[in-house]
Amino acid sequence: MIGAAVFTALFTLAFFAFALVDHRKLWWHFQAGRFDNPEQHEPSPASFKWRRVALVGVAAFLAWQCVGMLRLEGVFDSGPDHGEILERVESVAADLETAKDGRYKLSGLEREGSWGSFINPRLQGPGNDPIATLASKSGDEEPYAVDGICLTVTPMPGQSKQAYAMGNLMYGLKTDVTDSACEQSEHINRLGGM
């Protein structure tokens, strides 16, 4: 698609350049020699003007098509804005706390946190999807960094835990979304200071 856009852009430039030249001089250079009395056969000034208007119109149409092709290819996409990412993260947090969608999935074999395999597919949108990465881990609390937003997932207290379970364990969850980068928990900071 990029090749077609470049090809269209070249034709756009050619039509635009041809609209800028003096059409009267071109007529006298290329066409006048065919006539015995060229002054009588010379086109009117209005016809030269309408040729220019038509050429600029074709160049504008081709430029619009070129931009459309580049847009389809995703050249102008800058990805989702911060507000859209925040909305997606809040939606994922609500899904984790509700009883639908098998939200309690926890596997002890996850590398990027216990909930990463649940969070990342639900962050997907039309394109340039953000990725949740585990910022740190303190006990059961797992903060995930998502493009400057922090989603903290904590299993509710009083539930049984099985480390390295082969199947999915069901947990009730509490989530917290903050519109700032994830910070290390106080527990980790205290251990680091010792």
Q: DSSP states of the chain as a string?
A: -HHHHHHHHHHHHHHHHHHHS-HHHHHHHHTGGG-SSHHHHPPPHHHHHHHHHHHHHHHHHHHHHHHHHHHHHTTT-----HHHHHHHHHHHHHHHHSSSTTTT-B-TT-SS-SSHHHHHHHT--SSS----EE---BTTBEEEEETTEEEEEEEPSS----TT-SSPBP--EEEEEESS-----HHHHHHHH-
Residue ending a domain, choose from 24, 48, 73: 73
User: Which whole number is the average pLDDT over 141-156?
Assistant: 85
Q: How many CB atoms lie within 10 A of CB 26?
A: 13
Check whether residue 13 and residue 87 sit in a common domain: no
Residue ending a domain, choose from 17, 52, 73: 73
Strand order in the sheet with 133-134: 133-134, 142-146, 149-155, 173-178
Check whether residue 123 and residue 189 sit in a common domain: yes
Check whether residue 62 and residue 144 sit in a common domain: no
pLDDT tens, 62-91?
A: 999 999 999 888 777 767 778 888 888 888
Number of domains in the chain: 2
The per-residue pLDDT for 57 is: 96
pLDDT at position 43 over 90: no
Indicate whether this model's pTM tops 0.95: no
Check whether residue 116 and residue 137 sit in a common domain: yes
Residue ending a domain, choose from 22, 47, 73: 73
pLDDT at position 168 over 50: yes
Cβ–Cβ < 8 Å for 27, 41: no
Q: What is the extent of the structural domain holding 133?
A: 82-193
Check whether residue 31 and residue 93 sit in a common domain: no
User: Which whole number is the average pLDDT over 179-191?
Assistant: 57
Check whether residue 86 and residue 173 sit in a common domain: yes
Cβ–Cβ < 8 Å for 52, 23: yes
pLDDT at position 138 over 50: yes
